[in-house]
């Protein structure tokens, strides 16, 4: 089974039924990491491992499983999303610093006149 096809939830797939009683496709629930799992993931990310290779992803998953169900794909996507959040925050911080510098320059010019 491909890592990305693994179940992303903590409970088995549930089947959804419609009012006439027919059963539709299975419903997937999202993986919600436990606080302990988040602490471990953040610690690894902040240590500099922002894009772990496959072998490390498996090792991390085994470590996280002590605190609840998790798949390799969950770990892979957590790091992908965390890198994205980190880059977005960095861009926002940079933009706010540039705006602040421009504001200070404008105030300096106004003070001169």
pLDDT (tens digit per residue) in 84-113:
999 999 999 999 999 999 888 888 888 877
| CATH 3.40.50.170 correct for 32-112 | no
Q: What angle do CA 37, 40, 44 make, to 5 degrees?
A: 140
Domain boundaries, the chain: 32-112
Q: What is the mean pLDDT of residues 74-80?
A: 98
- How far is residue 61's CA from residue 76's CA, in Å, rounded to a whole number? 9
Q: Please state whether the predicted TM-score (pTM) of the whole model is above 0.85.
A: no
Query: E strands, the chain, where?
Result: 14-17, 23-27
């Amino acid at each position: 089974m491909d890592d990305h096809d693994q179940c992303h939830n903590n409970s088995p797939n549930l089947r959804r039924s419609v009012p006439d009683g027919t059963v539709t496709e299975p419903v997937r629930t999202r993986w919600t990491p436990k606080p302990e799992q988040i602490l471990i993931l953040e610690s690894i990310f902040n240590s500099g491992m922002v894009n772990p290779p496959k072998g490390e992803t498996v090792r991390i998953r085994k470590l996280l499983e002590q605190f609840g169900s998790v798949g390799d794909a969950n770990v892979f996507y957590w790091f992908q999303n965390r890198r994205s959040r980190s880059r977005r925050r960095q861009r926002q911080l940079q933009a706010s610093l540039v705006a602040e510098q421009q504001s200070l320059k404008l105030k300096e010019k106004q003070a001169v006149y």
